[in-house]
Amino acid sequence: MNTTVLPQSPSTETPTAGSAAADAAAAESAGAGRAPKASLVVHDLPEHRDTRPAAPVAVSGALLRALGITIIAGVLVTLLPQALIPDDQWSRVRAISAWTSLGLPFAFYAFAAALWRTRGASRLTTAGLLLGTTAMTVGSVVTALAGERAIPVAVDQWIFAVGFILLQLALIDAMVRGAWAGVLRWVLGVVSSWPLVAVISGTIAGDDAVWWAAFVAIVTGFTLIGGALLVRPQLTAARGSGAARR
């Protein structure tokens, strides 16, 4: 009698807990002699910053020339009545002189605009110059419209004192920054020395000379600034801070 032996199918029994533990122990012992796998650690890269110098700001040479003319015109409007009207006639033309005194604040406005457009000084000091000039302008307009006593003398003096201090800060900032080159930078240095000129004049000639010395120094300096902007607007383009197109 022939007997046929059939092949057995693979066992499908679920491994018991004992067998699983044995397999895990065998795998652990097998891998004990192997070197541990290297792990890749990825660190966040630092943020890339562009350190290249900023591109020059293109400023029209015609605009700078126009601002230079405005500075000169404002200075002349203020200076001519002071120089031409005799002292004994001031009582008759006081109203006219109150309006012509607005020429100097308008020269300051044009100067601030040139600084702002060419980045000749920081935004902070330029904004301070604009604020102080506005206060002086409002005071002059109120005086011209309502009379000399519209604003108390002490208040008027404080307004102009703060305005000229802010002007001085803008002048020094522009000179130290060096964004304006050549003769313009030297002129800024001359104009910023007006307090020293006033103090020396007051020491030599008395208190009455202080105001006139400061006035002459500022008027002369701003006339030179306006002339330099008119003739050489490209001097505002030093160190890549501005580029005045001809």
Domain that holds residue 115: 58-245
What are 11-26's pLDDT values in tens digits? Answer: 544 555 555 555 555 5
Q: What is the distance between the alpha carbons of residues 57 and 123, in angstroms, rounded to a whole number? A: 15
The answer to whether position 17 is within a domain reads no
Question: How many domains in the chain?
Answer: 1
The answer to whether position 98 is within a domain reads yes
The answer to whether position 225 is within a domain reads yes
The answer to whether position 206 is within a domain reads yes
The answer to whether position 181 is within a domain reads yes
What are 54-111's pLDDT values in tens digits? Answer: 444 556 788 899 999 999 999 888 877 766 666 666 556 666 777 888 888 999 999 9
What is the average per-residue pLDDT within 178-202? 82
For residue 170, give the nearest of 128, 132, 211, 109 by alpha carbon. Answer: 128
Q: What is the distance between the alpha carbons of residues 219 and 29, in angstroms, rounded to a whole number? A: 96
Any idea which residue has 């002699």 for tokens?
33
What are 134-165's pLDDT values in tens digits? Answer: 998 988 888 778 766 677 777 878 888 888 88
The answer to whether position 8 is within a domain reads no
The answer to whether position 141 is within a domain reads yes
Give the SS3 label for residue 77. Answer: helix
pTM: 0.68
For residue 221, give the nearest of 98, 108, 63 by alpha carbon. Answer: 108
Q: What is the pLDDT of residue 37?
A: 52
